[in-house]
Amino acid sequence: MNRRTLLYQCAGAGAAATLAGCIADRPGAGGDDAEPEEQPLATDGGNESTDDDSNGDEGNDGDDESDDGDDESDGNATDGGMSSPELVGTDVETHGDADEARDEAEIAFGDESVTVEGTISAPTPNYEAAVKEAEYSEADDEFRVTMTTRERDTDGMSIQPITGKEYTLEATFDGGTPIHVTVRHETPGGETTTVAEGSRR
């Protein structure tokens, strides 16, 4: 190795030592003396907690909406409920004479009809059963019917005493049938008496 090469090497080593000293003198350059940097406080957790509370409020809103839905359902059930039946008409058929004069009736309920099987007193055999009055009371949910007799068109004249006429009455309704039914008979003397009462409950 010649002298010029040795000088270059020494000069390079000296420069490296000087640069290392300068770096060591800079603040924070050393590992032991460096002060830790302050970290900002984490706020995501608080936001998540707030979001959770918000979600809870949304859950409460959902419960409120569910409650409102229940209220609306109850309201519909109450208001809509089962509608009151409407009397459509009545039909009477007289079957013949009973073995004696009497006033009685039996009531049967159908899906949309009420049937009355009865016997009503008539002045003579020339009379037949007929509806004098029929009405439905929405307030009482009751069908009231008054049966009477009327003279048939015949060629002859009957002088037989008071007899009984067997009949069938069918009252037709729209929207179900009433809960209560009352049947009355008008006697040959003009008096009205209740002969049957029935209920489908």
Confidence band for 153, pLDDT divided at 50, 70 and 90: confident
Confidence band for 12, pLDDT divided at 50, 70 and 90: low
Determine if the pTM surpasses 0.75: no
- Farthest CA pair distance, the chain: 172
Q: 196 or 43: whose pLDDT is higher?
A: 196
Per residue in 82-115, pLDDT tens?
Answer: 689 999 999 999 998 988 889 999 999 999 999 9
HEC per residue, 125-192: CCEEEEEEEEEEECCCCEEEEEEEEEECCCCCCCCCCCEEEEEEEEEEEECCCCCEEEEEEECCCCCE
Query: Would you say residue 34 has pLDDT above 80?
Result: no
Burial 163-185 (b: 16+ CB within 10 A, else e): bbbbbebebbbeebbbebbbbbb
Helical ranges in 26-148 per DSSP H: 44-80
How are beta strands 113-122 and 180-186 bridged, if at all? unpaired
Confidence band for 124, pLDDT divided at 50, 70 and 90: confident
Rounded Cα–Cα distance for residues 57 and 116 (Å) = 62
The upper half-sphere exposure of residue 57, i.e. CA atoms within 13 Å in the direction of its Cβ, equals: 5
Least confident of 117-121, 156-160, 169-173: 156-160
Q: What DSSP state is assigned to residue 1?
A: -
When the pLDDT of each residue in the chain is averaged and rounded to a whole number, the result is: 75
Residue 130's CB is within 10 A of a number of other CB atoms, namely 18
Given a contact cutoff of 8 angstroms between Cβ atoms, the answer to whether 146 and 133 are in contact is yes
Confidence band for 19, pLDDT divided at 50, 70 and 90: very low
